Amino acid sequence: MTSERPPTVAPQYADLDFDFENNAQRLPLVLCIDTSRSMEGKPIEALNGALAEWTHELHSDVSLSYSVEVAVITFGDQSVAAWHGPQRIQPGSGVSPFVPAHAFQAPRFVANGVTLMTEGVELAMRIVADRKSELRRLGLQYYRPQICLVTDGLPTDGTGHYTTGWQRIVPVLEAEQRARRFRLYAIGVGGITERGQSVLRAFAPTFNANLQGFPFRELLQLMSASAAAAQKGEGDEVFEKIFHQFRTQRPAWEA
């Protein structure tokens, strides 16, 4: 369990969907997904299909289904949103985005709007910190949370223009990852440019990748494999090996 000092004020997230008799060590997993207009058509269809398939796999994986907690953040459609399973959470509702893997149901996304990537990552960090505080309050242990950022573009402002505002969170991400508060995977897909990939390298120097096409199924399998490695208490070198083989599209967990 982490040795971080709990904050003085506990978050006000409801936890009504959680089985309080389940004392398994939890693994918060956040999917931070680009649903902007550039993902329209085959990319968003591939994402929706992969999420639905992955949901079934999570339900049937006994080792993960009662340990992993899944939250989804999207950035697109002029806003950033948190989801509780298939339902978009209304701001101020007090509903936690985290759903036990055995009960998780995938949202179905529509691509539209701009790429508020910076705000999406900030929200992902915030819900992870809140969830860890809540787990401590409940007396439950947890593994290091994982955040998976997926995008095919550059960070923009609300008008759709490229912005350097992403630079403000780089020092925060460096400090948080150095303190082992979460592990961030930053994945570029489709036609992401070198400029876009440089942003992802700044966000996640160790775990960044630029993949051809939209291999969302393999990406979600990576998250499952990483979660399984966390449960086994594997060291960083194992995660780096899994990720290296994922980048070359030779899944280590299928070897």
Residue 182 lies in a domain: yes
- Using CA of residue 130, residue 243, residue 107, residue 24, what is the dihedral sign? negative
Beta strands 183-188 and 208-210 are: parallel
pTM score, two decimals?
A: 0.90
Give the model confidence (pLDDT) of 10-31 as tens digits.
333 344 444 545 678 999 999 9
Give the CATH number of the domain where residue 116 resides.
3.40.50.410
Residue 148 lies in a domain: yes
Share of the chain above pLDDT 90, in %: 82
Q: Structurally, how many domains does the chain consist of? A: 1
- Using CA of residue 35, residue 39, residue 40, residue 46, what is the dihedral sign? negative
Give the model confidence (pLDDT) of 133-164 as tens digits.
999 999 999 999 999 999 999 999 999 999 99
